[in-house]
Structure 1
Amino acid sequence: MASNRCMNTSCPAPTSLHWTKGWPLGSAGFANLCLNCGSAYENLVFCDTYHSEEAGWRDCSFCGKRIHCGCIVSKSMFECLDYGGIGCTGCVKRSRLGVVRLVSELANF
């Protein structure tokens, strides 16, 4: 990767021998992360590890999981719901499948 510095400003060890690709950047490309930060990102615990005291945490309206809204790192982990609140992507996907099944069952009724 181009940069030899971890893009996580909270990283205690900003240099690394191994690099991983992180979240998509607004300016194109992907964040350059050291092995530890990249592992936290890949395991979906980056915000829990590095941003737990920051503002912007909300709960999934379905499962209650805490999600760091307004953070570029967790941008792809939730959707805003039509009726307010947020849902983690897994819960939103399951709820849409349930609606599709219900509509299909009603059509066959």
Structure 2
Amino acid sequence: MTRPDISFNVNKLCQFMHASTFSHFQAAKRLLRYLKGTVNHGILLTKSYVLALTCYTNADWTSYLDDRRSTSGFYLFLGSNLISWSFSKQKVVSRSSAKSEYRGLSNAAAEVL
């Protein structure tokens, strides 16, 4: 939960866990080498005097060519501290980039509430 920089790679590797190939094994080794070099990275929580809740969202329309589903995600900050984040495939196929963005925005709004 404290390493959002590897979340996409871990998610993608987990999708092929039961039917992995040599290229998946190479990607897993590359991820482990990256982790070895970045052991001091992570989310740092600092004292913040401003308690403003800020949310950033984004969506990528039809980013997966195999099933045409979009990816959406959000970052939620309290002051300068990241308190929640999520990236996932959307459950339905969007017909436009605007619908994909609205679905991502509604997921983020639900998390904020």
When the two structures are superposed, what TM-score results if normalisation uses the length of structure 1? 0.21
When the two structures are superposed, what TM-score results if normalisation uses the length of structure 2? 0.21
Bigger Cα Rg: 1
